[in-house]
Each structure stands twice: as C-alpha cells, then as structure tokens.
Amino acid sequence: MKITLFWHRRDLRFTDNAGLAAALQAGAPVLPLFIYDADILAPLPPDDARLTFIHHHVERLAHEAHEAGGGLLARHGQVLAVFQQLLQDYDLQAVYTNEDYEPAAIARDTAVAKLLYAHDVEFHAFKDQVIFAKDEVLTKNGKPPKVFGAYSKTWQAQATDADFQAHPSARLFTKEHLARPHRADAARPSLKDLGFEPHEQYTPPAQPPPAAVVKHYHQTRDFPALEPGSTRMSVHLRFGTLSVRELMRQARRENSKLLNEMIWRDFFMMLLWHFPHTATEAYDPRMRHLPWRDAPAEFQAWCEGRTGQPFVDAGMRQLNATGYLPNRARIVAASYLCKHLFIDWQLGERYFAEKLLDYDLSNNVGNWQWVAGTGAIAAPWFRIFNPESQQKQYDPTFAYIKKWVPEYGTPKYAKPLVDLQFGRDRALQLFREGRQ
Ligand SMILES: Cc1cc2nc3c(=O)[nH]c(=O)nc-3n(C[C@H](O)[C@H](O)[C@H](O)COP(=O)(O)OP(=O)(O)OC[C@H]3O[C@@H](n4cnc5c(N)ncnc54)[C@H](O)[C@@H]3O)c2cc1C
C-alpha cells in the first residue's frame, strides 16, 4: 500500500500543523519523517544545545505517534541521499511538508521536489509558520512593503479570524490515518549517533505563556531584569513546538503590542523571501561598502562580555551562558558592536547565530540590519543607542548588570574598550564617508 510521508522541519508538533492536516486528509496513510540534515549539522560544535532540544522533541513526537498507533521515521544524512533511499525503501504516494523561506531551504526543497516528481511522487508544501507569507502583504502598487509600519498596518487590516484558525491535524492523527515505519527503521539515531553530546539550556514549556505575562507585556518587555518580562516563546516559534496561530490568537485578544512584535517575524521572513541576498549584504545598496574596522581583539572582548560597558557585557554573558537574550539587551549589544566599535554587523550576526537557541536567519539578519541602519527599513544609520542611557532607562537599579557582571564596580571589571562619545563620533564619520 502506498503511503504519504509528512516531513517535519520547523514544525515539531502534531497539533495545528497545516501541512500535516492536509496530508492526513489526502487519503494515503501518513508516516511522519524527520531528517537530521548532515549539511546543517556538520559545522555545529558537539555541545550545540539546539541539537539536544531538537532531538528531545523528535523523540517526544515519536512517542506520541506510537501512542496514536503509528510511528515516526528519523534518518540522518544528506537530504537528497535520504530521499533517494526512502524511494527504494517505501512505496510513496506523496511527500507533504510546510514551507521554509530561507534561501538554502528553498534550494533544498526544489531539488527534493524534482527528485520526487521524477519518481512520480507528489510534493506539497503549505504555509504554516507565519500568518502571511511571500507576497500576501503588498503595497497598493503591488510591491513588498519595505517599511514595517506600512507592512503591519496592511497585515492587520487584511487579517481575519480564518487566518488564525487551527488546522485539524491532532483530531485526524489516529491509527486509521497513520502508517508505521518498517521494522528496520524502528531504531532512531541517538544524539551520540549524530555526533553530539547532551547540553540542556532552559526553555519554558511549549505552551502559551501565562496570562499575566501577556497582560503586562508592553510594560515589562524592555526590562531585562524582569524574568519573564516577555513571552520567551521565540524558541518554540523557531522550531514550531508551538503553533504561531495559537500565540497570535492570544496576542490578538489580550495585547496589541505583543501582536505587533510578532508581526515583525512575518515581516522579516517576507523580506528574506523577496530579497534572499540580504542574508549576507546590506538591504540598502548604499551601505554595502562601509569601511568596517578590522579589530579582532575588540570583537573577542565583545563576544566574551569584556567590553567595559556593563549593559553590553551583561547581555553577552547571558547569551553565552543561556542561549537566550531579551530583546532590549540584543539591541544594546548589537548597536555597541556595529556603531561604537564600528565592527561589521555580519560578524555579530554570525556570533548570535552560533549562540542563540532561537536563532532564525530572517529575524537575526533583519534585526541586525535594523540596528546597524543598513536595512530596507526606516531605522536610520545615525541612530546610536547609548548603553549608559539604556541602562538608566531599562536597568535603573543595576539588577540585570549585577546578576551577570558581579565584578562590576570593582577594580576587577574591564576598562571600557572605547570612550562612548569618541565611538559615536567615529561611527557617524565613517558612515558619512562610507555611504555611497
Ligand atoms: C540583534 C537582534 C537579533 C535578533 N535575533 C533573533 C533571532 O535570531 N531569532 C528570533 O526569534 N528573534 C530574534 N530577535 C528578535 C527578538 O529579540 C526576539 O524574538 C525576542 O527577544 C525573543 O524573546 P521572546 O520570545 O520573549 O519575545 P517576545 O517579546 O515575547 O515576542 C514574542 C515573539 O514575537 C517575535 N518577535 C518579537 N520581537 C521581534 C523582533 N524584533 N523581530 C522579529 N520577531 C520578533 C518572536 O518570535 C518572539 O518570540 C533579534 C533581535 C535583535 C535586536
């Protein structure tokens, strides 16, 4: 009997999963699949905490699938090679999945679709991880909005209840709709088989955040000493362990500021889909040849939280220790690197990519470019966040700084790498000279 594979990627859940619901409604029994992509895994260090997170959730899904009367197939290898093998091992009707808008993922999916079509196997991909994707939000002239305000306004005007409705995947996830892996596939790769060791970092449960956090979100989100001052759902939205529609429904009901922040996510994914080259170069072509400083020792000090700017250092130390950083601390640390030190935002973007549990190419690049002032968005290059004023406003009692930089205020604490006024003037001058 022919079966359908449902290929999980950024959607590690069976509940409210658009592509899975479509697969379960299509007729053939469905076998969930996860591929540990050797190309993605190869450059990661053995203690990468994201692998522990992913592995844990894949195993949880396998358990849930088993309980429902089915199973989950997990393989490790290069994606095309894995599909070549699957075509030999299983009689496939179709492969269903959810869309991914990153340039490398689009290339990978195109190659997989081609391979499957050549074997008369269907390939279907669905919108799942955002409310509006690709060119679903356009200006009156039919162009992608490059300014967030305009994007968010149109997004909110065109959204209806139907856009937030849950897909019935959980209800359909029953024995009669499911296939089981062959006996030879019963064993799934362990973390060790994949070349990784367990490294747990705290993540909140994959459930909607507490009502009190959402209610006060607009008052608390900018104060990094408050835990949690924001939803902490970024890792779950990144890996799809929580449905974006579920969190958006809560935000729509309870906090318009939270809704607006979440729309940034759709905005940056839309921008990356339209302008994939901006993953590695400035959105604004005039900003592509800025004379960034080559200062490896200063960059290293920034990475390690030894810049002598306590708000920056607290953030970087929290990032290194926990894989998480509140938004305000991301802004302050990023701005200091690419403005006061005038070090290329791409180096900072890559460092965040290594460390953040919620790392997401579109959000990371989009935000870094927003901070650097190189983006398509209306953040000017001459806006420079002063870490001392930011501390006065957002960490007035030094609670956050004292937590992460205990030696602050003692002779042991690092001397500032750069005088803030000097760094600011230098950045403005280099931006003025380097802009084309
Ligand atoms: C330099 C820099 C780099 C960043 N890199 C990432 C990244 O790699 N991955 C990532 O998910 N977010 C990134 N952000 C955005 C934001 O800081 C995090 O999403 C947020 O801090 C996560 O905490 P939270 O889940 O409590 O967010 P909340 O404030 O509770 O927001 C809820 C959700 O909305 C989305 N969101 C909120 N703010 C933004 C924003 N500015 N841009 C895009 N989406 C947003 C996130 O999915 C978040 O989980 C970055 C921000 C900056 C300034």
The model's pLDDT over 140-158, given as tens digits with 9 standing for 90+, comes to: 999 999 889 999 999 999 9
Provide the Cα torsion 37, 39, 42, 47; round to 10°.
-40
Out of 264, 273, 302, 404, the active site residue is 264
> Does residue 103 share a domain with residue 27?
yes
Residue 178 lies in a domain: no
> Does residue 364 share a domain with residue 242?
no
DSSP secondary-structure letter at 183?
G
Nearest CA to ligand 1 atom 46: 234
Is the pLDDT assigned to residue 64 strictly greater than 70? yes
Dig out the tokens for 125 from the structure: 């991909």
Dig out the tokens for 334 from the structure: 């990023």
Out of 99, 246, 261, 349, the active site residue is 261
The pLDDT of 89-104, averaged and rounded, is: 98
Q: Check: CB of residue 214 under 8 Å from CB of residue 258.
A: yes
Q: What's the structural domain count of the chain?
A: 3
Q: Which of 104, 128, 152 is the last residue of a domain?
A: 128
> Does residue 251 share a domain with residue 219?
yes
For residue 118, give the 3-state DSSP assignment: helix
Q: What is the pLDDT of residue 436?
A: 79
As a whole number of angstroms, the distance between CA 422 and CA 404 comes to 26
Report how far ligand 1's centroid is from the alpha carbon of 363 (Å): 7
Q: Which domain holds residue 311?
A: 285-431
CATH of residue 81: 3.40.50.620
Write out the H or E segment, with its range, that includes residue 30.
strand 30-37
The model's pLDDT over 11-57, given as tens digits with 9 standing for 90+, comes to: 999 999 999 999 999 999 999 999 999 999 999 999 999 999 999 99
Report how far ligand 1's centroid is from the alpha carbon of 233 (Å): 9
264: annotated active-site residue: yes
Half-sphere exposure (Cβ direction) of 226: Cα atoms closer than 13 Å:
18
Three-state SS annotation for 308-362: CCHHHHHHHHHHHHHCCCCHHHHHHHHHHHHHHCCCCHHHHHHHHHHHCCCCCHH
Report how far ligand 1's centroid is from the alpha carbon of 327 (Å): 6
The model's pLDDT over 341-350, given as tens digits with 9 standing for 90+, comes to: 999 999 999 9
Is the pLDDT assigned to residue 377 strictly greater than 90? no
> Does residue 421 share a domain with residue 296?
yes
Write out the H or E segment, with its range, that includes residue 35.
strand 30-37
Report which of 26, 146, 96, 101 is spatially closest to residue 273, judged by C-alpha positions.
101
Provide the pLDDT confidence category of residue 228 given band limits of 50, 70 and 90.
very high
For the purposes of burial, counting CB atoms within 10 Å of the CB of 13, is it exposed (0-12), middle (13-18) or buried (19 or more)?
A: buried
Half-sphere exposure (Cβ direction) of 310: Cα atoms closer than 13 Å:
24
Residues in contact with ligand 1 (CB, 6 Å cut-off):
221, 230-234, 237-238, 261-262, 264-265, 268, 326-327, 330-331, 334, 352, 356, 358-360, 363-364, 367-368, 371
The pLDDT of 365-384, averaged and rounded, is: 87
Side chain identity, residue 163: D
**Residue among 262, 265, 312, 363 to mutate when testing ligand 1 (max atoms within 8 A of CB):** 363
CATH of residue 241: 1.25.40.80
> Does residue 142 share a domain with residue 37?
no
> Does residue 49 share a domain with residue 156?
no
**Residue among 221, 234, 354, 370 to mutate when testing ligand 1 (max atoms within 8 A of CB):** 234
Estimate to the nearest angstrom the gap between the alpha carbon of 48 and the chain centroid.
16
Would you tell me how many other CB atoms lie within 10 Å of the CB of residue 210?
A: 11
Report how far ligand 1's centroid is from the alpha carbon of 19 (Å): 25
The percentage of the chain sitting over the pLDDT mark of 90, rounded to a whole number, equals 97
